[in-house]
Chains A and B, each alone.
Chain A
Amino acid sequence: MDNIVDKVTNEDYKYGFTTDIETEVIPKGLNEDIIRLISKKKNEPEWLLEFRLEAFRHWQTLTVPTWPHLSIPEIDFQDIYYYAAPKAEVEGSENKEIDPELLKTFDKLGIPLHEQKALAGMAVDAVMDSVSVKTTQQEALAELGIIFCSIGEAVQNYPELVRKYLGSVVSHTDNFYAALNSAVFSDGTFVYIPKGVRCPMELSTYFRINAKGSGQFERTLIVVDDDSYVSYLEGCSAPMRDENQLHAAIVELVAMEHSEIKYSTVQNWYPGDKDGKGGIYNFVTKRALCKGNGSKVSWTQVETGSAITWKYPSCVLLGDNSVGEFYSVAVTNNYQQADTGTKMIHIGKNTHSHIVSKGISAGHSQNSYRGLVKVVENASNARNYSQCDSLLLGDKCGAHTFPYMEVRNETAIVEHEATTSKISEDQVFYCNQRGIKTEDAIALIVGGYAKEVISKLPMEFAVEAKNLLSISLEGSVG
């Protein structure tokens, strides 16, 4: 394998451009005045300011977590802009005309925002830095009673709903970055699906970091009422910069009785260059509460970007007969580091969870799976099946598995399987002999390895994710 892995270069990051647009930033640093200023900019009610301040006061008592299998350089939290708002609208325009530069940016990313050009069967909320630029298809969705808007807009228009659920799944006391996000969060997406509605299109949010020196702290809240369904997808990218930028988000999902949420992520933040310089720190808390009986949440993630990833999309299976699923492909190349996995907390009776994690490591990268399966005392007949596979390309990368199990009910059945494999020279030569060149052979083999997860993505993104996988690994073999 050595001679295949010798040549390690870096494919150009396709989304590394910067948009030249006037951006309003508030002073760097973090203190109560900054938080008051953010809250004021967003014209927030008093309770939300209090929510932020309480989180901030708690955050000040915390220190950065050191348990992940990651080496994270010290972050100066006073050296970050916590609010950066591109001037989205053309000044003086009557019907809130969007700056053409912004439209161009999202066009370039493959996210057309003009209603007439909008992707069929899909509604998009486009977020740049701290603000939502535009949300498409809102009217069509509103006819079904579906709310799909930025969280800032939701605070203004649906304050009761937001107040009821914000922080109900991920409290500000959950962890260091959750506290930070709760103090300074800016735009993200709010979704509410009323009872008995099957959302007819994919809802999605595209997150873009643009401003230099800023962080992105979005917050997403999705509430799906009884007997309803939604499929939601998030994508993201950032310019290529030598500095590291922080992305610390919170995603909260609430699934009521017999409802289902399918949450898919294609994460493509700038991973840094081939020497490990620059890139996004992606420190994210994602959790779903399967609140109602028979509710179901599926997390599907394809992670190829970010210099460092620290995230564990989880399910709290509170309702009886509820189901949690986690399907993940995490790719690390060059000097990327990922510590990712899930938590499945079985509380209701007859709850099921299914975990499929596929790690792919190349270059000098480190890729860890960390997962917890917890079955509480009263959770009778809980079932879990976990499968964690690692694929190594070369001998300078690392793959690690940290499975935790806490089972307090003896009717539970918890299974864990793990494998580690390498792409063999024989497989590559076999493809070569049939006329397939090495780069394409690797893409084919990796695609086959990740198929079980990719197939869970909505159709059009499955293709994108497959391409992304091969681009991320391009140059990792020669």
Chain B
Amino acid sequence: MCFLLPARLRAPTGLAVAAVTAAAAVALAWQVAVDGMIRHNLGGWDAPLGIGLYADGLSCVFLVLTGVVGLLVSVYARSFFSLPEEQEGATKLFWPLWLILWGALNGMFLSADLFNLYVTIEVVGLAAVALTVLSGRPPALVAGLRYLLAAIAGSMAYLMGVALIYGSVSALDLQVVAQSIEGGSSLRVAFGLMIAGLLVKTAVFPLHFWLPSAHSSAQAPVSAILSALVVKASFYLILRLWVDVFDGSVTVAAGQALGALGAAAVLWGSYQALRQRRLKLMVAHSTVGQIGYMFLLFPLITLAHQGGADAPWLIHAWTGGIYQALAHGLAKAAMFLAVGVFVLAVGSDDREATVDLVGRLPMTTFALALAGVSLIGLPPSGGFVAKWMLLKATFTSGQWWWAPVILIGSFLTAGYVFMVLRQAFAPTKTPIQLKPVPRAMEVTALLLGAAAILIGFRAEEVLFLLDVEAPFQEAVEAEEGGGL
């Protein structure tokens, strides 16, 4: 719809739609928190033939994350794209593409159907690539094509898995599949294909090759959206498949394999981030590392599940991983927006160019510092809660070998965050000419950074929402009472 509007009207309309969508996400989360899980069958057709929408605690947490980040990024983007420097290329198309992307993300968090999920990840992928190449600069175009090819390969592998599952159980609805699934080689192949396809899209080491270039060559609001939300979407899908659908058939070895990939990603991504000279590349590599943390969730919950659903570390691992997704979403969005302000003001994204910015752009430097604190995992930030819970789960479950990875990753993160901050605090004699930056851009970056910290204080609400129809309770009930 937004395509039809004249360019001048697009930003206000887009902003209004953004506000309404975010409000709807919060309202839905409230309803789920109060009334429990919601299932809506489109057109009144029941599963297995109909296509259902489904909202539980997990989907609501991600919906609200998308709503909050989306709204703030929209405010930022409105100022950003009205700047004269950012008018090249097809930036007029930002609003329609972003709203399509947002719609597809929401659709994905609410879908209860394997094929519908395929359609939404494909729409997310296409819209994300289109946003990446928006500036029309050659590096962005090349990065976009690389991203697009990786995304197509990933979603085709996922679709192949869907085909095999349909061949085995003749159903696509998540719950129906979960109930009628029984181990077997074709299901294992299907599961492997789906997870592998989604790993490409989530950019887990060593399949992250497309991420740094794509995320760093996009424009600032787009980078924030890609890093904070788009990679979370496929992470959500892996999580959903892992705990809801293939609950009974995942093995400890598969969990350990994902954990090993995650651990490698933590070390490699953080180390690469430390070595980058360009700010945006540094932040993009840091995304690779932080995604790795989320994947440490899988070995922990898998082992817990094999050893009985009441294993004490289960809830720590589960909430720790999801908390990491939330904290990283907020912090990384804040970081990309703050770096966007730096680049705009200084005119370069060299790491050394941020010298003495603390006095000139205090708000943005503060935002960057807050986001950095959450990424490192210093208390009392959201990142601290996430990493603390993961650490606790590694020790209580006896899988101590993940603990050093978490700690070393934190040190490396501290390394690159402080390198930027040291530069920003370093006084300089040479006068620097800074371009003026719209106030709204600084404020939104700061708000996101503050949210990444504050989420650490409001853990109870998030935990309560996550508890609504948590997948493990479901599994226990299904075993006891014969299904939902």
Do A and B associate with each other? no
A interface residues (Cβ-Cβ under 8 A, vs B): none
B interface residues (Cβ-Cβ under 8 A, vs A): none
